[in-house]
Amino acid sequence: MTETPQSFLQTAKFFIYASGIFFLYFYYGILQETITRTRYGEEKEKFTYSLALVFCQCIVNAIYAKISNFFLDQGEDTTRRVYYASCSLTYLLAMVASNILLIYAKFFPQVVGKSCKPIPVMVLGVILGRKSYSWKKYVFILMIVVGVALFIYKDSKATASTAGGGIGLGEVLLVLSLTMDGLTGAVQERMIAESKTKSGHMMLNMNLFSIGYLAVALLVTGELFTFVAFVQRFPEVMTKMLIFSVCSALGQFFIFLMVSDYGPLPCSIVTTTRKFFTVLGSVIFFGNELSNRQWGGTFLVFSGLTLDAMYGKTPKKEIKDGKASKE
């Protein structure tokens, strides 16, 4: 069947958004590992300021969203503020958990473990967002789960011991991050369904709420003061954080465009796929090595993602017995 101009435009937009997410977050991932793995000064100090890192990200994201909204026709924002508040909180918790896991644990389990993100997005979308998916999509997502399990199975002890917080800390952080990702996706589904929330409004308001949450957290934990002292000792880290935050802002812009136009699940699949190339980048630039088992798990993860992209699409609504239904 011949593709209509509107369908072609939608496909082209999807690949433009996906390419933006892919390239910007590829570099973002490399910068993130550079910041967190570098040992600073003669004392070989480690960067452990996850809240401050995310705080800087959110400030740059909000500034970028505010500027871009001047040039984009976003219309009136009718989204309920409670959605922005709850969505930014779950999004923030997911990001902070991921950054803590990356700082204290091994890089690869965090990256590939986050490849499970489509699962909570899908499950909580069904529960809270009243979504439905074909049986093929569940099979492909199961392939991803098995691949992730193969990848991180023997790394769990190292993860926990590196974290220094007792057995299973790495897994707890990973599960927390994935659960928050799922809740974020479910709330975003509600926002789009009820108010047709535009990408610029979503990006700006979520980051503004996140800045407020993080400002309180930085003061309560005292991390703000230790972070300022760290930057005074090693000012070069601010340059890295600025470039990192700019990549985050540009990448997040494409993410919110993807969420607004196509929904959270397609967006989570795109962001998960780019993680494979972040792993390869880490292997190339940092000399990390993967065992045969881990390569097998990685292959299974991204085979599931590829099959899902090819065969896991939900058909358009059909009319049955006078009601709209989806497979």
Domain ranges of the chain: 28-313
The secondary structure of 144-210 as a DSSP string is: HHHHHHHHHGGGHHHHHHHHTS-TTHHHHHHHHHHHHHHHHHHHHHHHHHHH---HHHHHHHHHHHH
**pLDDT over threshold 70, residue 153:** no
302 vs 3, higher pLDDT: 302
Query: Stretch 285-311: mean pLDDT, rounded?
Result: 74
CA angle (49, 52, 57) in 5-degree steps: 125
pLDDT tens for residues 37-84?
888 988 889 888 988 998 999 999 999 999 988 887 778 888 999 999
User: How far is the CA of 200 from the CAs of 11, 54, 62, 282, 294, in angstroms?
Assistant: 21, 19, 10, 32, 39
Alpha helices in the chain (DSSP H): 5-37, 50-71, 81-104, 107-113, 118-129, 135-152, 156-163, 169-195, 199-221, 223-233, 236-262, 264-286, 292-311
Query: Stretch 195-206: mean pLDDT, rounded?
Result: 89
Query: Stretch 294-310: mean pLDDT, rounded?
Result: 77
Determine the 3-state secondary structure of 40 from DSSP. strand
CA pair distance 39, 44, nearest whole angstrom = 4
Please give the share of the chain, as a percent, with pLDDT higher than 70.
Answer: 70
**pLDDT over threshold 80, residue 312:** no
Query: Stretch 208-213: mean pLDDT, rounded?
Result: 94
DSSP conformation class of 264: H
**pLDDT over threshold 70, residue 326:** no
CA pair distance 260, 251, nearest whole angstrom = 14
- Which of the residue ranges 11-25, 184-198, 228-242, 259-273 would you say has the lowest mean pLDDT? 259-273
Q: Nearest Cα to 308, choosing from 145, 143, 137?
A: 137
Query: Stretch 206-234: mean pLDDT, rounded?
Result: 94
Give pLDDT, residue 281.
Answer: 65
Name residue, tokens 């800390």: 169
Whole-model pTM? 0.69
